[in-house]
Amino acid sequence: MKNETGDAHYQKAAVAIEAARHITVVGHLNPDADAIGTALGLWWILKGLKKRVDVVFVSTPLPQVLSFLPGFGKIKHQIDPKSDLIIGVDCGSFDRLGIGRIEGSMLINIDHHRSNTFYGDINLVEPHFASASQTAFRLVGIAGWDVPKNGAVNFYTALVSDTGFFGYESVGPGVFDFAKTLLELGADAEWTARMLRENQPLSKLRLLPKVLETLTLYLGGRVAGLKVTLDMLKSSGASIGETEDMVNYARSLATVEVGFLIREEPDGGLKVSLRSKELVDVAQIAVKFGGGGHIRAAGFTVYGMEQDLLVDKLLKILQKEL
């Protein structure tokens, strides 16, 4: 299966979607605002085609900070096996969707991860796009479908969140064109920023100092690491999703090129988030550990490995890159 990004390929996807009876849009495990915003944005748009459309995220609980997104309450956690078309969004590999294959159903892969494995029957993957919503919107534009206000609100949230409010390398003129169109369609920049940044649960602010306390510098201060333990989550009452952007504190130090955060998972795994500034391709590093992501933001999960050994392995690789 391969990726193609010509208009004809998008048209093929549009025809398949219009021919489907029961569509299920699925995003990745431990979803972020890009995954949920892109999935719900598509949900509002595809509902306009007058067919059955579900949005499924297998993970529970979902990040409640995103409950302001229109349609959030409609998200399901299990796929209906009667779906004849599945659309994976913001997801680099099939296993990260957390679903099994459904015999006879078609799979369309809408993404922007450079590590994408092209697991769909049709793959619409644009590694240069800043957000999966941008890929979805290209499809919507080529298909000529209407975008209701609630679709635009969801896509706009996906976009600002995956660009760090227009601050990442992925941001170019195309991103601002897309943002302008979404605002014209009814998205509200101030409201979205307030919902994303000033709507935090107390537990998250209680967790933050505990996490910052673990800050450790390596390789002459060019690498910084943070840890989140299950105990910290428990004592602050925070859920796993609330650690989402804390790795950015590690990268924010002046001397640091690579920041990482290691989080203990309830299933015994260690989830690692990697962030870099301008030299290191962290997606490549994450792939070595079975994960993936983007040049400046990537992640992976390991099982059965001691934390110290994991940090050693990571530093050995980073030493060569820096």
Which residues of this protein are in contact with ligand 5GP, per CB under 6 A? 28, 92-93, 96, 113, 115, 273, 291-294, 297-301
At residue 40, what is the residue type? L
The three-point CA angle 79-303-212 to 5° equals 100
115 phi, psi to nearest 5 deg: -90, 10
User: Per the omega criterion (within 30 degrees of 0), is the bond before 148 cis?
Assistant: no
Among 26, 30, 34, 116, the residue binding Mn ion under the rule CB under 5 A is 34
Work out how close the CB of 202 gets to Mn ion at its nearest, in angstroms, rounded to a whole number. Answer: 28
Per partner kind, with CB cut-offs from 5 to 8 A, the member of Mn ion, ligand 5GP, none near residue 242 is none
Query: Per rule CB under 5 A, is residue 111 in the interface with Mn ion?
Result: no
Query: Per rule CB under 5 A, is residue 54 in the interface with Mn ion?
Result: no
Work out how close the CB of 162 gets to Mn ion at its nearest, in angstroms, rounded to a whole number. Answer: 5
Distance CA 303, CA 278 (A): 29
Nearer to Mn ion, 170 or 243 (CB): 170
Q: Could you tell me which stretch among 88-96, 146-154, 176-184, 212-220 binds Mn ion (CB under 5 A)?
A: 88-96
Nearer to Mn ion, 49 or 127 (CB): 127
H or E element that contains 86:
strand 85-89
- Measuring CA to CA, which residue among 83, 87, 89 is closest to residue 32? 89
Nearer to ligand 5GP, 52 or 165 (CB): 165
Nearer to ligand 5GP, 37 or 292 (CB): 292
Nearer to ligand 5GP, 37 or 291 (CB): 291
313 CB burial (10 A radius; 0-12, 13-18, 19+) = middle
Work out how close the CB of 36 gets to ligand 5GP at its nearest, in angstroms, rounded to a whole number. Answer: 12
Question: What are the start-end ranges of the H helices in the chain?
Answer: 7-19, 33-47, 132-143, 149-162, 173-184, 189-197, 202-212, 230-236, 247-251, 282-288, 307-321
Q: 155-184: which residues touch Mn ion (CB under 5 A)?
A: 162
Work out how close the CB of 131 gets to Mn ion at its nearest, in angstroms, rounded to a whole number. Answer: 6
Per partner kind, with CB cut-offs from 5 to 8 A, the member of Mn ion, ligand 5GP, none near residue 161 is none
Cα→Cα distances 107→23, 136, 176, 191, 279, Å: 10, 14, 30, 34, 35
The radius of gyration computed from the CA coordinates of the chain, to the nearest angstrom, equals 19
- Cβ atoms 48, 148 nearer than 8 A: yes
Among 90, 126, 242, 257, the residue binding Mn ion under the rule CB under 5 A is 90
Distance CA 61, CA 291 (A): 22
Query: Per rule CB under 5 A, is residue 257 in the interface with Mn ion?
Result: no
| Helices and strands of the chain, counted as H and E runs | 11, 11
Query: Per rule CB under 5 A, is residue 126 in the interface with Mn ion?
Result: no
Q: Could you tell me which stretch among 31-39, 59-67, 211-219, 239-247 binds Mn ion (CB under 5 A)?
A: 31-39
Nearer to ligand 5GP, 123 or 273 (CB): 273
Nearer to ligand 5GP, 20 or 224 (CB): 224
Work out how close the CB of 247 gets to ligand 5GP at its nearest, in angstroms, rounded to a whole number. Answer: 6
Joined tokens for residue 182: 């979404």
Nearer to ligand 5GP, 113 or 222 (CB): 113
Work out how close the CB of 227 gets to ligand 5GP at its nearest, in angstroms, rounded to a whole number. Answer: 14
Q: Which residues bind to Mn ion, rule: CB under 5 A? A: 34, 90, 132, 162
